[in-house]
């Protein structure tokens, strides 16, 4: 039992989340439960509107559920105030967004430095670490360029560098390949897998893209606001409705 | 993060240019209009600058230097007898019509000074000698007046001369000849008329029919007697009103006739309202353009601010980033606007129109108002960003 507790990175149970007024309520999560382990890459899949993004937001501490318990690396998030949640995200989370969210007026290096600067690290140290990880994602020489001068795949690499530069234990990826072609998407997922693979890190990926299912250790399928099943082999999933 | 905030600001050159234009225009309008206002207001007490004396004595009902209420000549003796007075000289000031060679009339400020001491005489003569005022029918005209009245002169060929009056030229005041023996350099007056200096006794002749001609008395305190203290003594012993010659209008504690004149024009004319409206317009234009542009800058960057929030930046950090951006733009905008106001001011000073006085206080006030505009702009942006849900970054 204690071994299991040690390996769990994210655990959510009995999570309810709804939006709107009591008269006009939209239920996003209904007694949802979810578990992700340290060292694994888990994908959350399901049709549009099933609650994937809401669950991801709850795990990331950007949404507070109306009911249920959420624990990330031993820290209970439900009941934490906004300030504590902000501090938690700053230390423990890395984000890769669907539309990259790279600031176009900053250079590639400056974009990558953002999480470190938010943590209060000195500019020079942040710059040095940013250059190191930019080299790792294969963009050496593009540090001082603007993100808009890069291809979609290259921009997503910058986003991955930004997500990992402060070495967070939990990496949250929201549709990381939806804006990319098949080959580039595969390269990006390979990179996420290679760079983030660590016994102490967990990667949660929300995706519609069944072409990247093969990169997952496990896949959690969602339906109507709850996890309907979790599989180890993507072949076991019926992808026709995704 | 502040360095990145600045890079975000400077990276969007179009928005930055718009923002700076708004702030610079606002600063320009506020600084330039205020400086012209204070320039015009400084003209209201020009006689205090041109006629130099430590203490002025007037009728008790006098409120400002352009509105003299004539005294009796015997008052001069009463003032001279006050303890602490080194000397006291009569001064006549009035507005009279001068008839030019072409037959036109021009309103002038006639200044009659004591022929013995020349107390109140202009400090700088560009032509002639002050002593020549003791000659019959003589006057000294200021440079600007000489140029103005010269255009009304007639040459030997009977055509307009279009050159400034010179020593030796003549015109008439109340049908009495006035022969120019000197050209002086003095500050121009609010009334727009040239300064024409003559002796006190001759001024009596030029103002035919005036029962009393003693407008003011110019007084010099004895050594060791402060002007303000002497004013108290004169008022106590004679019942007349005594003023210091201080022309620093910010000097609230002084019994300055210049300051009283300034505030008389402030409360009794529409000048402050007119210029105040222009300054307010500058402020509102600044808030409108800068606020709107900064808001649009924030809107454009909203999803990035949301992403930064999701990554763990608190609202405090983001608010400080926005303040850094707004105040930096404010600082540059103020520099540009104030610089342009200075440049325009230089041209104005060279041309002499309109008057332009840029006190350091004007710059400080403009700076504070521009920072106020920046503050309002930043707060508008902060309110917008604070309402953005960090979870919105996951909604595409």
Q: Residue A208, class by beta-carbon neighbours within 10 Å (0-12 exposed, 13-18 middle, 19+ buried)?
A: middle
Cβ distance B304 to A86 less than 8 Å, yes or no, reads no
Distances (CA, A) of A180 to A153, A176, A209, A239, B211: 6, 8, 10, 19, 100
DSSP one-letter code for B214: B
Cβ distance A91 to B311 less than 8 Å, yes or no, reads no
Q: What is the DSSP string of B244-307?
A: E----TT-TTS-BHHHHHHHHHHHHSSHHHHHHHHHHHHHHHHHHHHHHHHHHHHHHTHHHHHH
For A124, nearest residue in chain B (alpha carbons): B3
Is a pLDDT exceeding 50 seen at residue B277? yes
Contacts of B310 in chain A (CB under 8 A): 60, 62, 89, 95
Name the strand (E) or helix (H) holding B30: helix B13-44
- Structure-token pair, residue B207: 């103002």
Residue in B33, B66, B106 with CA at minimum distance from that of residue B357: B33
For B301, nearest residue in chain A (alpha carbons): A103
Question: What is the pLDDT, as a whole number, of residue B251?
Answer: 67
CB B243 within 8 A of CB B58: yes
- Structure-token pair, residue B179: 């022969």
Whether A80 contacts chain B with CB within 8 A: no
Question: What is the pLDDT, as a whole number, of residue B209?
Answer: 65
Name the strand (E) or helix (H) holding B317: helix B315-351
Contacts of B304 in chain A (CB under 8 A): 101, 103
Average pLDDT, stretch A52-73?
88
- From the candidates B13, B14, B303, B310, which should be mutated to test the interface with A, based on the most A CB atoms within 10 A? B310
DSSP bridge partners of B216:
B91
CA distance to partner chain A, nearest, from residue B322 (Å):
15
Residues 193-222 of chain A with CB under 8 A from chain B are 206
Is a pLDDT exceeding 50 seen at residue A4? no
Cβ distance B308 to A119 less than 8 Å, yes or no, reads no
Residues on B contacting A at a C-beta cutoff of 8 Å: 1, 3-4, 7-12, 301, 303-304, 307-314, 317, 389-391, 393-396
Answer yes or no: is the ipTM higher than 0.85.
no
Q: Is residue A44 part of a domain?
A: yes
Question: What is the pLDDT, as a whole number, of residue A234?
Answer: 66
Residue carrying the six token digits 């949640």: A85
pLDDT band with cut points at 50, 70 and 90 for residue A2: very low
Contacts of B391 in chain A (CB under 8 A): 57, 60, 62-63
Residue carrying the six token digits 């006739």: B257
Average pLDDT, stretch B224-228?
90
- Structure-token pair, residue B375: 């503050």
Q: Is residue A227 part of a domain?
A: yes
Question: What is the pLDDT, as a whole number, of residue B252?
Answer: 60
For A99, nearest residue in chain B (alpha carbons): B396
Q: What angle (nearest 5°) sits at the alpha carbon of residue B369, between those of residues B365 and B372? A: 140
For A86, nearest residue in chain B (alpha carbons): B312
Average pLDDT, stretch B314-334?
91
Cβ distance A114 to B4 less than 8 Å, yes or no, reads yes
For B314, nearest residue in chain A (alpha carbons): A86
Angle at which helices B315-351 and B271-300 cross, to 10°: 140
- Structure-token pair, residue B140: 């000294």
* Dist. CA B139–CA B111, nearest whole Å: 10
Torsions phi, psi for A49 (to 5 deg): 85, 5
Contacts of B311 in chain A (CB under 8 A): 89-90, 93, 95, 114-115, 118
Range among A205-219, B1-15, B198-212, B231-245 with highest mean pLDDT value: B231-245
Contacts of A87 in chain B (CB under 8 A): 312
CB B246 within 8 A of CB B100: no
Q: Is residue A59 part of a domain?
A: no
Cβ distance B393 to A62 less than 8 Å, yes or no, reads yes
* Dist. CA B80–CA A67, nearest whole Å: 96
Average pLDDT, stretch A213-223?
88
B186 by DSSP, 3-state: which?
coil
Is a pLDDT exceeding 60 seen at residue B373? yes
* Dist. CA B15–CA B9, nearest whole Å: 8
pLDDT in tens, B379-394: 988 998 888 887 777 7
Cβ distance A118 to B308 less than 8 Å, yes or no, reads yes
pLDDT band with cut points at 50, 70 and 90 for residue B69: confident
* Dist. CA B324–CA B2, nearest whole Å: 7
Residues 166-185 of chain A with CB under 8 A from chain B are 174-175
Cis? peptide before B180, omega within 30° of 0: no
Q: Residue A236, class by beta-carbon neighbours within 10 Å (0-12 exposed, 13-18 middle, 19+ buried)?
A: exposed
Which position has the higher pLDDT, B191 or B334? B334
Percent residues over pLDDT 70 in chain A: 93
Contacts of A93 in chain B (CB under 8 A): 311-312
Instruction: Give me the CATH number covering residue A176.
Output: 3.40.50.300
pLDDT band with cut points at 50, 70 and 90 for residue A113: very high
Average pLDDT, stretch A23-49?
87
pLDDT band with cut points at 50, 70 and 90 for residue B248: confident
Average pLDDT, stretch B77-106?
89
- Structure-token pair, residue A146: 């603007």
pLDDT in tens, A176-213: 887 777 887 888 888 778 777 788 889 999 888 888 88
CA distance to partner chain B, nearest, from residue A184 (Å):
19
Torsions phi, psi for B93 (to 5 deg): -135, 135
- Own/partner pairs for B127-131, CB < 8 Å, 24+ apart? B127/B166, B127/B167, B127/B182, B127/B183, B128/B167, B128/B180, B128/B181, B128/B182, B128/B183, B129/B181, B129/B182, B130/B182
Asked which of A179-188, B216-225, B230-239 is least confident by mean pLDDT, the reply is: A179-188
Contacts of B303 in chain A (CB under 8 A): 99, 101
Q: Quote the number of domains for chain A.
A: 1
pLDDT band with cut points at 50, 70 and 90 for residue B197: very high
pLDDT in tens, B134-188: 999 999 999 988 888 887 767 667 777 778 888 888 888 988 899 999 999 988 8
Nearest CB to A86; choose among B9, B314, B389: B314
For the four alpha carbons of A219, A65, A176 and A124, in that order, the dihedral sign comes to negative
For B11, nearest residue in chain A (alpha carbons): A105
What average pLDDT is seen over chain A?
Answer: 84
Domain holding A116, by residue range, is 39-53+80-241
pLDDT in tens, A120-145: 899 999 999 999 888 888 888 888 99
Q: Number of C-alpha atoms within 13 angstroms, CB side, residue B206?
A: 31
Is a pLDDT exceeding 60 seen at residue A3? no
Name the strand (E) or helix (H) holding B138: strand B138-142
Nearest CB to A101; choose among B4, B307, B314: B307
- From the candidates A118, A124, A147, which should be mutated to test the interface with B, based on the most B CB atoms within 10 A? A118
Residue carrying the six token digits 């290259």: A154
Burial A102-116, CB ≥16 within 10 A → b, else e? bbbbbbbbbbbbbbb
């Amino acid at each position: 039992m204690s071994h299991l507790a040690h390996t769990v990175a994210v655990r959510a149970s009995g999570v309810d989340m709804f939006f709107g007024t009591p008269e006009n309520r939209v239920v996003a999560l209904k007694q949802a439960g979810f578990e992700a382990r340290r060292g694994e890459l888990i994908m959350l899949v399901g049709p549009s509107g099933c609650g994937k993004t809401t669950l991801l937001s709850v795990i990331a501490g950007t949404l507070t559920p109306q009911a249920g318990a959420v624990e990330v690396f031993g820290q209970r998030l439900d009941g934490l105030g906004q300030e504590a949640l902000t501090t938690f995200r700053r230390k423990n989370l890395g984000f890769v967004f669907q539309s990259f969210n790279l600031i176009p007026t900053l250079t590639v290096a400056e974009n990558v430095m953002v999480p470190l600067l938010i943590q209060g690290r000195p500019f020079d140290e942040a710059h040095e670490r940013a250059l190191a990880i930019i080299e790792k994602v294969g963009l050496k020489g593009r540090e001082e360029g603007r993100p808009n001068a890069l291809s979609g795949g290259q921009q997503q690499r910058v986003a991955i560098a930004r997500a990992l530069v402060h070495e967070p234990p939990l990496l949250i990826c929201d549709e990381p390949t939806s804006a990319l072609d098949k080959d580039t998407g595969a390269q990006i997922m390979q990179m996420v897998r290679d760079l983030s693979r660590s016994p102490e890190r967990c990667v949660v990926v929300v995706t519609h893209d069944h072409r990247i299912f093969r990169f997952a250790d496990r896949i959690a399928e969602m339906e109507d606001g709850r996890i309907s099943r979790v599989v180890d082999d993507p072949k076991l999933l019926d992808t026709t409705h995704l | 993060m502040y360095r990145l905030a600045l890079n975000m600001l400077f990276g969007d050159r179009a928005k930055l240019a718009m923002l700076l234009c708004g702030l610079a225009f606002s600063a320009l309008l506020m600084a330039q209009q205020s400086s012209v206002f204070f320039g015009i207001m400084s003209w209201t007490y020009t006689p205090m600058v041109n006629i130099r004396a430590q203490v002025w004595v007037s009728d008790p009902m006098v409120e400002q230097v352009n509105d003299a209420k004539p005294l009796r000549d015997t008052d001069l003796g009463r003032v001279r007898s006050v303890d602490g007075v080194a000397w006291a000289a009569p001064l006549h000031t009035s507005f009279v019509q001068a008839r030019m060679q072409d037959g036109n009339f021009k309103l002038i400020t006639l200044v009659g000074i004591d022929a013995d001491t020349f107390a109140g005489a202009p400090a700088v003569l560009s032509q002639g000698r002050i002593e020549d005022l003791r000659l019959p029918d003589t006057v000294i005209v200021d440079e600007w007046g000489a140029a103005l009245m010269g255009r009304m002169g007639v040459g030997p060929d009977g055509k307009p001369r279009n050159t400034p009056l010179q020593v030796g030229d003549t015109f008439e005041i109340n049908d009495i000849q006035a022969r120019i023996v000197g050209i002086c350099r003095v500050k121009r007056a609010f009334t727009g008329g040239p300064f024409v200096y003559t002796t006190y006794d001759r001024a009596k002749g030029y103002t035919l029919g005036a029962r009393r001609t003693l407008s003011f008395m110019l007084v010099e305190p004895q050594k060791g007697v402060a002007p303000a203290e002497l004013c108290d003594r004169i008022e106590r012993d004679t019942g007349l009103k005594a003023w210091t010659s201080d022309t620093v209008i910010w000097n609230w504690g002084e019994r300055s006739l210049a300051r009283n004149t300034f505030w008389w024009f402030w409360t009794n004319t529409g000048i402050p309202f007119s210029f105040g409206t222009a300054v307010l317009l500058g402020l509102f234009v600044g808030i409108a353009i800068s606020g709107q542009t900064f808001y649009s800058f924030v809107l454009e960057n909203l999803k990035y601010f949301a992403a930064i929030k999701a990554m763990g930046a608190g609202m405090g950090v983001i608010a400080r980033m926005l303040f850094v951006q707004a105040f930096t733009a404010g600082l540059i905008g103020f520099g540009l606007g104030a610089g342009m106001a200075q440049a325009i001011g230089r041209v104005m000073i060279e041309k002499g129109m309109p008057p332009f006085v840029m006190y350091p206080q004007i710059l400080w006030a403009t700076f504070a108002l521009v920072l106020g505009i920046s503050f309002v702009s930043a707060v508008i942006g902060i309110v917008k960003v604070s309402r953005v849900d960090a979870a919105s970054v996951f909604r595409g």
